[in-house]
Amino acid sequence: MSCSLCRLPFTPSARSVRPRWPPEGMLSEKQLQYMKHAVGMGQYLVGLVVNLVHLDDNMFTINNSPVLVTIIWETGGKTFVALHTHCAMFLRHNLGLTSNTQEALIECSLLDIIVGPTQSGAHAGRLNNVDYEGVLGQGSQRVDIESLWSIGPTAGNQDFAWHEWKRRGLEWTAVRPDVFPRFSPTVLPARLSNLGERPATTADRITTLPLDVLHILLPYLSDEAYVKLMATCRTLRYHALTTFQPLARARVLRLRWAVPLESEYASYVRTKHPALADLYRQLTSAPETATHPPSRSAPSSPTDSDGAGLDARFNSLSLRAAAAAQSHGNGNGNTDTRHRDPLAHLEMAHAAHSPVDADWLHYLSQVHRTSSMRARRWVWALAGEVARVYWKKKSEGPYADPEQTPDSDGVKGRGGDEKDEKEGTVGGKGKWPGKSEAWRVYAQSVEQQYEMRRVVQGGNMGNASQTRFTW
């Protein structure tokens, strides 16, 4: 049973009745634990988008639920969309559907209708028209997981060629994609002192250019070329470690995958710096979050809180940081920011909180070196590709949002923001005025599945200490 995004297998729960484990030593204990978790999306899933655990033998079960729900993966020649935890997180982020509003959940559940149906047999779970193998490029850049699958003994029990996967050097694809390089909020003095004495004068073509000219030329280089050029002489190295750090920062942020999602950053602050958690919450609680319905404010699992709109506030935070940087505009200003923002000292890169003159150069080179970041870049690219196909097909089909006139009601984004609709208050076209007829009919058809979300999350049981089935 495979992930519809990265195409790697899920590992079985230790409580699976008929587990089929990867060969001994193929994955670490942590990987085995991590890869048993899944997020399921689809019209027939209780809850529409739910956290699952893989039971193997063509079955998943809803995790942390007070009711026991087991779901068949491949049936009738197709599967529902099952994704590893981070695969789901990246896909929802790229789709702009990170919130758990009813609209966003419905959009997510439409994935296998709009992009699917998924394939069956050896390639069960694969979405059509998605260039899985070429997302990082062609030739040696191709990443082919698909050819490792073959028909298994029964539906949903495909075989994965683990030894061949290892032989092809693809082990990095199963590295957890959220181990970020350590971020240095200040340039370590040793990095500067190691440079030694800078030459008083230079005579080459580059370092003799005015700094303003270099500032204009350098953004044209690739990241690799930039890092290499900066290493060619002491003068450039010095500038790269000081004056040009904002250039390296811009490069890191432009990659998009290279810094944690807001939800990942929040989790980092919560676990590594609990004393700052309250402050972080205040900083990120934009006024519109107050409109979040109470039933969705008490998520019962990590993934439910992952989206929760935090990423939607990322942009406003970035803007605040940019404004702060602009208003100071120099090294002194950055130092000022560092003093004012307690999160500026954290060893985790953040567009808004990390100082503009931190050691972004070091971080830029590190994110291109570790296996975790390699996996992250790849899964991120896959998520971008699936999102591209989703929005293209959606815009061409019956679920496309009709053209909005300037004064029409209920014009909203893709559900990635926190402005929840006031359910049931709009007349005429019901509660989905900005949606097509087909979309509204579909929404109606999955109303029950959506309502059952509360049941599988235990929201209606009124007893927090009730028994839950955790796998």
Q: Which stretch binds Zn ion (CB under 5 A): 80-88, 229-237, 338-346, 433-441?
A: 80-88
Q: Which stretch binds Zn ion (CB under 5 A): 73-81, 84-92, 128-136, 450-458?
A: 84-92
Please pick, from the candidates 36, 37, 84, 453, the single residue that binds Zn ion as defined by CB under 5 A: 84
Smallest gap, in angstroms, from Cβ of residue 76 to Zn ion?
23
Q: Which stretch binds Zn ion (CB under 5 A): 32-40, 78-86, 262-270, 274-282?
A: 78-86
Q: Is residue 97 a contact point for Zn ion (CB under 5 A)? A: no
Smallest gap, in angstroms, from Cβ of residue 8 to Zn ion?
6
Smallest gap, in angstroms, from Cβ of residue 447 to Zn ion?
29
Nearer to Zn ion, 89 or 259 (CB): 89
Smallest gap, in angstroms, from Cβ of residue 312 to Zn ion?
23
CA atoms within 13 A on the CB side of 104: 26
Smallest gap, in angstroms, from Cβ of residue 87 to Zn ion?
3
Nearer to Zn ion, 33 or 297 (CB): 33
Q: Which stretch binds Zn ion (CB under 5 A): 77-85, 93-101, 124-132, 246-254?
A: 77-85
Nearer to Zn ion, 177 or 185 (CB): 177
Q: Which stretch binds Zn ion (CB under 5 A): 87-95, 141-149, 338-346, 380-388?
A: 87-95
Q: Which stretch binds Zn ion (CB under 5 A): 4-12, 115-123, 301-309, 340-348?
A: 4-12
Smallest gap, in angstroms, from Cβ of residue 292 to Zn ion?
28
Nearer to Zn ion, 37 or 362 (CB): 37
From residue 5 to residue 44, the character string flagging contacts with Zn ion as x (rule: CB under 5 A) and all else as - is xx--------------------------------------
Residue number of the CB atom closest to Zn ion: 3
How many residues bind to Zn ion according to rule CB under 5 A?
A: 5
Q: Is residue 87 a contact point for Zn ion (CB under 5 A)? A: yes
Phi, psi of 356 (to 5 degrees): -65, -30
Smallest gap, in angstroms, from Cβ of residue 332 to Zn ion?
45
Smallest gap, in angstroms, from Cβ of residue 408 to Zn ion?
39
Q: Is residue 3 a contact point for Zn ion (CB under 5 A)? A: yes
Nearer to Zn ion, 87 or 89 (CB): 87
Q: Is residue 145 a contact point for Zn ion (CB under 5 A)? A: no
Smallest gap, in angstroms, from Cβ of residue 230 to Zn ion?
35
Nearer to Zn ion, 84 or 93 (CB): 84
Nearer to Zn ion, 3 or 105 (CB): 3
| Number of neighbouring beta carbons within 10 Å of residue 182 | 11
Q: SS in 3 state form for the chain?
A: CECCCCCCECCCCCCCCCCCCCCCCCCCHHHHHHCCEEEEECCCCCCCEEEEEEEECCEEEECCECCCCEEECEECCEECEEECHHHHHHHHHHHCCCCCCHHHHHHHHCHHHHCCCCCCHHHCCCCCCCCCCCCCCCHHHCCCCHHHEECCCCCCCCEECHHHHHHCCCHHHHCCCCCCCCCCCCCCHHHHHCCCCCCCCCCCCCCCCCHHHHHHHHHHCCHHHHHHHHCCCHHHHHHHHCCCHHHHHHHHHHHCCCCCCHHHHHHHHHHHCHHHHHHHHHHHCCHHHHHCCHHHCCCCCHHHHHHCCCHHHHHHHHHHHHHHHHHHCCHHHHHHHHHHCHHHHCCCCCCCCCCCCCCHHHHHHHCCCCHHHHHHHHHHHHHHHHHHHHHHHHHHCCCCCCCCCCCCCCCCCCCCCCCCCCCCCCCCCCCCCCCCHHHHHHHHHCHHHHHHHHHHHCCCCCCCCCCCECC
The burial class, CB within 10 Å (0-12 / 13-18 / 19+), for 225 is exposed
Q: Which stretch binds Zn ion (CB under 5 A): 2-10, 29-37, 340-348, 452-460?
A: 2-10
| Residues engaged in binding Zn ion (CB under 5 A) | 3, 5-6, 84, 87
